[in-house]
Amino acid sequence: MIKLGVITAHHSIFEIKQIEPLIQDQCELTFIPYRLIGEIQELYERNHLFYDGILFSGALGYNILQQKFTEFTTPTYFLDIPEGDFYKRLFSISNSNKNLNFARVCMDLISEENNYMGLKGVLKEEEFPFCLQLEYTTALYERAFQQHLSLWNQGKIDLVITRISNIVNLLNQAGIPNIFIFPSKESMLEQVKHIINELQISNLLENQGAIGVVTIKGQENMSDLELKQIMLHKALLEFNEKENVLSVIQRKHASFEIITSQSDLKTLTNDFTTCSVLQYLNETLPFHVNIGWGIGTTFYQAKMSAQTANNQAKSMDLPCAYVITANEEVIGPLGDDTCLHFTNKVDPQLQKLSETLSVSILQIKKIMALISKLKTNELTAEDLAYQLGLTLRQANRILNKLEDKGAAKISYRKQEKLRGRPKKIYKIDFTEVSIS
């Protein structure tokens, strides 16, 4: 059952309640009413974590929040008025008021932002209604009402068509004829069903299996491996007693397999930026471990990705964690300033490039990711060694291969001290390589 928190003006609750019986087997609506615009942010912050999604009754609340947050941590939506609904209402209003001149109507729901709901292509300039220039601030209600009132007092309008439910009472008290316009029952149902479907898919993705493969660093040469694996098992159980996010912890021949969900893994890794399991184990145990996390639409895919991620972690000098997502994005080392994002998918062109340069596909992907991360294609051997976890000799060998094949050129030499060799700065451009 999807849970939607509906942040809405009191006046709009009745409208939205019309669709409640039609979705009650799929979705539970909880109404969170506000009277003042200044209440919106506090209501959102206080409630959003308790729902699968937040729905605003209109664009007003949504746009107010967008000024405060760069992104919404909880999926957030608003009910829109489709042009079909808009024109049906205009036809109905026109049909009920045969002598109505739209040039003497003020509409606060049309603006340049929504292309005036297409009215510019329907009405002549002299027939066009008044529209308001409104800013999304806490004073919007008062300013909208005052602009309507000013036009009314000047004798310029006979009717207000408004989308702002909280000014309807003010318009009535001022004796200004008005019509409150809201999405039709049919379009509300369609929009909410779309939201339910989107959230159901999101929940399925969040509950995808995630597997971690934990290995002891350097275990291939250990005589006391059995003892250390017992200690590792105990530490994993203790971690889970505190966090309660690992559904399965099982020992394999040379590793431990831990099972959780994608949503819990995102929590454990702070959205794939650090790894609390790795940090706990390396602080608790007298030896170090590596962790590879894998996410997949099947447990087999997650397991294979976790093994690949663990192998990637083992290739680094320091103990670390990597994750491979369901779309095969490799992220790691988590929590390190050398962390890179690159794809695990093999592209035919990349395969040819690898063969031409005699450099592994993985190293090429890492170099591409490094260029993207640093926002420059000018690198030194020291940059490459540090960021990719290589020795200086390995980094120089790769750069020499790139230079030989035309993928890198020495752009200049940097002398950091008065004595010693100047550092070579390589400008890398894989597009310069001729691939047969």
Mean of the pLDDT values across residues 166-191?
94
- The residue out of 204, 237, 257 marking a domain boundary is 204
Which helix H or strand E contains 222, and what residues bound it?
Answer: none
Rounded to whole angstroms, the Cα distance separating 134 from 220 reads: 68
Q: Based on the domain organization, do 382 and 312 belong to the same domain?
A: no
Q: Phi, psi at residue 56, to the nearest 5°?
A: -95, 145
335 and 266 assigned to the same domain:
yes
Shared-domain flag, residues 366 and 384 = yes
Looking at residue 419, its pLDDT comes to 55
The most confident of 252-256, 263-267, 423-427, by mean pLDDT: 263-267
Are residues 225 and 333 located together in one domain of the fold? yes
Read off the pLDDT of each residue in 75-85 and give the average, rounded to a whole number.
Answer: 91
Most confident of 55-69, 149-163, 374-388: 149-163
pLDDT at 241 over 90: yes
Q: What's the pLDDT score for residue 349?
A: 83
Name the residue range of residue 358's domain: 348-432
Residues 14 and 25 in one domain: yes
Query: Quick check: 405 pLDDT over 90?
Result: no
Do 133 and 65 belong together in one domain? no
Which of 306-315, 362-371, 417-426 is the least confident region?
Answer: 417-426
Q: What is the tally of structural domains in the chain?
A: 4
* pLDDT score of 420: 55
Look at residue 222 in the predicted model and tell me its pLDDT.
72
Res. 202: pLDDT tops 90: no
Provide mean pLDDT across the span 33-41: 92
Supply the pTM of this predicted model: 0.57
pLDDT at 416 over 70: no
| pLDDT value, residue 414 | 60
Q: Where a domain ends, among 327, 343, 359?
A: 343
Task: Output the domain CATH number for residue 400.
Answer: 1.10.10.10
pLDDT at 194: 92
Contacts 24+ apart (CB under 8 A), 108-115: 108/132, 108/134, 108/144, 108/148, 108/160, 108/161, 108/162, 108/163, 108/164, 109/81, 109/161, 109/162, 109/163, 109/181
Q: Do 219 and 331 sit in the same domain of this protein?
A: yes
Query: What value does the mean pLDDT of the chain take?
Result: 89
Q: Cα dihedral angle (170, 173, 175, 180), rounded to 10 degrees? A: 40
User: What is the reported pLDDT for 325?
Assistant: 93
Per-residue confidence band for 79, with pLDDT thresholds at 50, 70 and 90: very high
Q: Which runs of consecutive H residues, i.e. helices, occur in 174-298?
A: 185-206, 225-243, 262-268, 276-284
DSSP 285: S
Give the percent of the chain with pLDDT over 70.
Answer: 97
Has residue 421 got a pLDDT over 90?
Answer: no
In CATH, what number is assigned to the domain containing residue 112?
3.40.50
In terms of domains, do 261 and 329 share one? yes
Task: Tell me which of 405 and 212 has the higher pLDDT.
Answer: 212
Tokens of 173: 């008290």
How confident is residue 226, by pLDDT bands cut at 50, 70 and 90?
confident
150 and 214 fall within a common domain: no
Q: What pLDDT is recorded for position 76?
A: 94
Instruction: Look at residue 73 in the predicted model and tell me its pLDDT.
Output: 83
Judge whether residue 323 has pLDDT over 80.
Answer: yes
pLDDT value, residue 219: 79
- Quick check: 5 pLDDT over 80? yes
pLDDT of residue 71: 81
Q: What is the pLDDT of residue 417?
A: 53
pLDDT digits (tens, 9 = 90+) for 123-162: 888 889 999 888 888 889 999 999 999 999 999 999 999 9
Question: How far apart are the C-alpha atoms of 147 and 37, rounded to whole Å?
Answer: 18
pLDDT at residue 157, as a whole number: 94
| Res. 418: pLDDT tops 80 | no
On whether both 53 and 195 belong to a single domain, the answer is yes
pLDDT tens-digit profile of 342-371? 887 777 888 888 888 999 888 898 898 889
pLDDT at 263 over 90: no
- Higher per-residue confidence, 205 vs 92: 92
The whole-number average pLDDT for the span 99-122 is 88
* Judgement on whether residues 56 and 98 belong to the same structural domain of the protein: no
> How much of the chain exceeds pLDDT 90, in percent?
51
Q: Are residues 300 and 413 in the same domain?
A: no
343, 368, 390 - which closes a domain = 343
248-251/256-261 β-pairing: antiparallel
